[in-house]
Amino acid sequence: MTINTNGLILSQIAQTATEAAAIASAKLSGFGRKNDADQAAVDAMRRSFQTAPFSGKVVIGEGEIDEAPMLYIGEELGAGGIKTDIAVDPLEGTKLCASDAPNAMTVVALALEGGLLHAPDMYMDKLAIGPGYAPGLIDLDLSPTENVTRLAKAKDVPLSEIRACLLDRPRHAHIIEELRKAGVGIRLIPDGDVAGVFWTTEAFRSGIDIYFGSGGAPEGVLAAAAIRCAGGQMQARLMPETEQEAERARSMGRDVHAKLTLDDMVPGDVVFAASGVTHGSMFDAVHFEHHNAHVDTLVWDSFNKRKSRVRSIWPDA
């Protein structure tokens, strides 16, 4: 077996970064201070990247340089090495962490330079399923009913055994109504649509078969990295709400009407890592015992077709 050393190096960098951020934010879980928890995760992740053996550039981050002092888009990090695109959500679910609610996590995707879509900060319509299905099974241009019908047929189950996930937002009311009429079960989540897409990659664990609806475009690219590693399917389309947003997308070379495929969002190999902060559908929470932090992490490396679940212990955390 041939080992791709880039994948191994990036996997270790991603794992260390998500675990450091998870520990930092978990110390503030349940205290109602979502901004402080987010800042703690950002600071810890940034410190981890600063000494990592790569030449990284943030392409999906906490905002533009004038909006975010840490991990801003365009920021360069690392001690030198592989030229790498960085996509991060240092704390996916800041409100969830603040209230110690389920499914807060930290997320990183790393690809070789040019390997991640530079997505403008606007809404993106998303549709995703996990691995094991014939290519082209789902299509963003089809109705929700047609997509779940195709999925149920492929799984050889009735529609009542399909579970869809959507953000609980008024803009999704028409999709929810249509899916309920079709007889599909729905999990509505308050925040964290990276997690919602991510859940489809391990439906046996999460109970989620398909993801629908709109959320942030940067989060869509992070989610696409997970789908790429898992061998699932995803399509998306940018949804500018103003002419200014549409013009910004065009200035980045994006066709706001185009249907984006997985190859558009993550054209090459990628490493995806996520660590649990609070307990959830895919992770155990960080817990502290005898001055040690115990962290539950998934690291997926498409360079080497490797998927790892890691339970780390950080001393004196």
Structure tokens at 93: 């679910």
The end-to-end CA distance of the chain, in Å, is 37
Q: Are 45 and 106 in contact (CB under 8 A)?
A: yes
Name the CATH superfamily housing domain 5-116+270-315: Fructose-1,6-Bisphosphatase, subunit A, domain 1 (3.30.540.10)
Give Dmax over CA atoms of the chain in angstroms.
55
Strands 163-167 and 185-189: parallel
pLDDT at 67: 61
What is the torsional sign of CA 170, 174, 180, 186? negative
pLDDT at 120: 82
Q: How many Å apart are CA 286 and CA 289, to the nearest integer?
A: 10
Torsion angle of C-alpha atoms 39, 45, 46, 47, degrees rounded to 10 = 110
pLDDT at 225: 97
Which CA distances in Å does 246 have to 105, 120, 127, 238, 241?
31, 9, 21, 9, 8
Angle in degrees, 0-180, between the axes of helices 34-50 and 5-26, rounded to the nearest 10: 150
Q: How many Å apart are CA 201 and CA 136, to the nearest integer?
A: 16
Strands 76-77 and 54-60: antiparallel
CATH 3.90.650.10 fits 123-265, yes or no: no
What is the torsional sign of CA 202, 71, 251, 113? negative
From first to last of the 317 residues of the chain, give the pLDDT tens digit. Answer: 799 999 999 999 999 999 999 999 999 999 999 999 999 999 999 999 999 999 999 999 876 655 656 788 889 999 999 999 999 999 999 999 999 999 999 999 999 999 999 888 889 999 999 999 999 999 999 999 999 999 999 999 999 999 999 999 999 999 999 999 999 999 999 988 899 999 999 999 999 999 999 999 999 999 999 999 999 999 999 999 999 988 888 888 888 889 999 999 999 999 999 999 999 999 999 999 999 999 999 999 999 999 999 999 999 88
Q: How many Å apart are CA 135 and CA 115, to the nearest integer?
A: 22
pTM of the shown model: 0.95
Residues with Cβ within 8 Å of 248's Cβ and at least 6 positions away in sequence, in order, are 120, 122, 240
The residues spanned by each domain of the chain are: 5-116+270-315, 123-265
Backbone angles phi, psi at 4, to 5 degrees: -90, 110
Helix H, strand E, coil C: the string for 204-262 is HHHCCCEEEEEEEHHHHHHHHHHHHHHCCEEEEEEECCCHHHHHHHHHCCCCCCCCEEH
